[in-house]
Amino acid sequence: MLRASRLLTGAIGALLIVTPAQAELLPVEPSGFQHFSLEAGVDLSQYQAIALLPCDISFHKNWQRNQNSNALNSRRMRDRDVEQQRDNMASVCERNLRKQFIDDGYEVVSTEISGPQILLVKPIITELDIRAPDLNSTNIERQYVNNVGEMTLELGLYHSENRKLLGQANDWQEGWDFGYPRQVNRTTNNAEFGRMFRSWASALTKLMSPES
């Protein structure tokens, strides 16, 4: 029996109601995630719509410092650059999760709407490592990497009416290995990280399917 993650139990602040009994989750396999757990008796197939909360982003430890020690970068990454990268990745996360949920047949509704058939979803990204971030420098730079980077997802599933924690997923992904150093920029980074977000969304909707 698993306890709810501290990240998830604090993710929605005062809106979230979690007691120790509510936070006891049972592992589910196979799930499409490295770790997935649900409260006993929860049937995800009852949910026909998804309310998607904003995606929280945190970077790999020392990511900024490591980027600044990289000889390929002609200018240092400042704190405001880090925030721009964070905001961009949060947008990529929300946009791609939303698109995949809709493509898989689920309505995505406002988080201000609640109901017995609405699942509240909170994505949290940790250990994000963008190998070659595009800093929009005026210098003409070409950056080459074997893959765009890696990240870990922590996904919280809540009942939209009482904000009770129903389940959680954890998974790590790394970008496809190009097989050789390939030139990348913000567009290619966003596309590849977007693919990873969509794969996570698809894994969740498969668990929500009545046929699962």
Question: Residue 178: which CATH number?
Answer: 3.40.50
Can you give the pTM of this predicted structure? 0.86
pLDDT at 19 (0 to 100):
43
pLDDT at 24 (0 to 100):
84
Per DSSP, helices labelled H in 20-168 are 63-68, 79-103
| pLDDT of residue 53 exceeding 50 | yes
Nearest in space to 193 (alpha carbons), one of 176, 205, 169, 178: 176
Nearest in space to 162 (alpha carbons), one of 56, 12, 3, 6: 12
Long-range contacts of 134-142 (CB under 8 A, 24+ apart): 134/184, 134/185, 134/186, 134/189, 135/73, 135/75, 135/77, 135/81, 136/186, 137/74, 137/75, 139/74, 139/75, 141/72, 141/73, 141/74, 142/183
Q: Where in the sequence is the domain holding 167, given as residue range(s)?
A: 2-208
Span 90-121, pLDDT tens digits: 999 999 999 999 999 999 999 999 999 999 99
As a whole number, mean pLDDT of residues 38-44 equals 95
Tell me the two tokens of residue 1.
């029996």
Q: Percent of the chain, pLDDT > 70?
A: 83
pLDDT at 10 (0 to 100):
47
More confident residue, 79 or 9: 79
How many domains is the chain built from? 1
More confident residue, 20 or 57: 57
